[in-house]
């Protein structure tokens, strides 16, 4: 395990996060952080940030169509269904670390979330539009999975019932 590289990435991330928090705090007028309307991230933004981060992380790390972006750092392992794949990091050193980051949606979440938080602070209207778009896709994904699951269960039950009816007719 390239622990030194992991440590370096953690340091870089924390420097970026600390710089962003420090800059945001300095940009705020005195006492404005106690005023909810002037906070850099409003409570209603948290839901958009969470769902948008989730969806973009999945697109970047699991989507079948984004495999070419990950290819230099990963190898295909399995189809997960719903247009997603499981990949594993390849290589050693920095290549391996990047491979792990681009194939792990949980690893990508912290980077995507920080990027969205920064973008929301710098350009809230455009960022909220992107977050709403990604959130709508995530909601649609969950609805597709729910619909397919319920439709499949209903079809399986119908097929079983029809089979039982045919068996009963043959028996009588």
Q: Contact at 8 Å (CB) between 109 and 34?
A: no
pTM to 2 decimal places: 0.77
CA angle 54/89/87 to nearest 5° reads: 55
89-118 confidence digits (pLDDT tens): 999 999 999 999 999 999 999 999 999 988
Is the pLDDT assigned to residue 146 strictly greater than 80? yes
Is the pLDDT assigned to residue 6 strictly greater than 80? yes
- Residues of the chain with pLDDT > 90, as a percent, come to 62
32-65 confidence digits (pLDDT tens): 555 555 566 688 899 999 999 999 999 999 999 9
Is the pLDDT assigned to residue 154 strictly greater than 90? no
């Amino acid at each position: 395990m390239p622990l030194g590289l992991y440590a370096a990435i953690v340091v870089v991330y924390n420097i970026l996060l600390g710089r962003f928090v420090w800059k945001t705090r300095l940009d705020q007028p005195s006492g404005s952080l106690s005023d909810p309307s002037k906070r850099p991230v409003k409570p209603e933004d948290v839901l958009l940030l969470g769902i948008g981060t989730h969806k973009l992380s999945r697109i970047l790390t699991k989507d079948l169509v984004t495999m070419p972006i990950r290819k230099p750092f990963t190898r295909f392992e399995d189809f997960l269904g719903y247009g997603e794949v499981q990949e594993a990091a390849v290589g050693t050193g920095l290549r391996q670390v990047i491979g792990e980051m681009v194939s792990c949606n949980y690893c990508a979440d912290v980077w995507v979330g920080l990027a969205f938080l920064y973008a929301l602070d710098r350009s809230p209207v455009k960022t909220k539009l992107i977050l709403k778009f990604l959130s709508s896709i995530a909601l649609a994904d969950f609805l597709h999975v729910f619909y397919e699951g319920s439709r499949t269960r209903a079809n399986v039950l119908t097929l079983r019932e029809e089979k039982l009816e045919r068996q009963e007719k043959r028996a009588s």
